């Protein structure tokens, strides 16, 4: 199985890595490692991620330590196309228009997209903000 990144997915990854690199270079490296690990898993076990409700050709795989979902589909028997790498905690109104349109394109009527967030009523110390293990499962 061969995995290809669509241009929108490449841009998603570039934006995510830039964001984490600005905060801490180690986070950028961890994100890249996690993506590489997930992509290798998908190449070995392409049907391991669940199908997106209403779109039997699209699957969604989640990263373990970062709030990102990888949307992909099979375009040939031995090819996986990664469509998007979407931050699951961002509001859709801050996505580039094309990004949200892609999500709408793959969702059928009655399908749904879930978002999650962390709520905290007290200030978070700077060292905790920089500790990715505190924010991810």
More confident residue, 13 or 76: 13
In whole numbers, what is the pLDDT of the chain averaged over residues? 81
Q: Which of 38-42, 73-77, 102-106, 110-114 has the highest mean pLDDT?
A: 38-42
pLDDT for residue 137: 46
Three-state DSSP state, 16? helix
54 or 110, higher pLDDT: 54
Question: How many other C-beta atoms can be found within 10 angstroms of the C-beta atom of residue 90?
Answer: 14
**Cβ contacts of 73 within 8 Å, gap of 6 or more:** 57, 58, 59, 80, 81, 83
In 3D, which of 99, 135, 129 has the Cα closest to residue 116? 135
Beta carbons within 10 angstroms of residue 88's beta carbon: 16
Instruction: Tell me the mean pLDDT in the region 95-111.
Output: 58
pTM > 0.95: yes or no: no
Is 60:71 a contact under the CB 8 Å cutoff? Answer: yes
Name all domains of the chain by residue range, CATH numbers in brackets.
2-135 (3.30.2310.20)
pLDDT in tens, 5-60: 999 999 999 999 999 999 888 999 999 999 999 999 999 999 999 998 877 789 99
The confidence score (pLDDT) of residue 49 equals 93
pLDDT value for 74:
86
**Beta carbons within 10 angstroms of residue 27's beta carbon:** 20
């Amino acid at each position: 199985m061969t995995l290809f990144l669509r241009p929108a997915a490449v841009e998603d990854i570039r934006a995510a890595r830039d964001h984490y690199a600005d905060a801490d270079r180690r986070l950028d490296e961890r994100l890249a490692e996690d993506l590489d690990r997930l992509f290798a898993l998908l190449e070995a076990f392409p049907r391991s991620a669940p199908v997106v409700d209403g779109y039997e050709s699209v699957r969604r795989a989640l990263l373990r330590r970062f709030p990102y979902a990888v949307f992909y589909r099979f375009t040939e028997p031995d090819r996986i196309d990664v469509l998007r790498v979407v931050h699951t905690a961002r509001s859709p109104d801050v996505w580039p228009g094309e990004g949200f349109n892609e999500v709408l394109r793959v969702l059928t009527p009655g399908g749904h997209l879930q978002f999650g967030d962390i709520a905290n009523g007290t200030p978070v110390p700077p060292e905790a903000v920089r500790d990715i293990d505190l924010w991810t499962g």
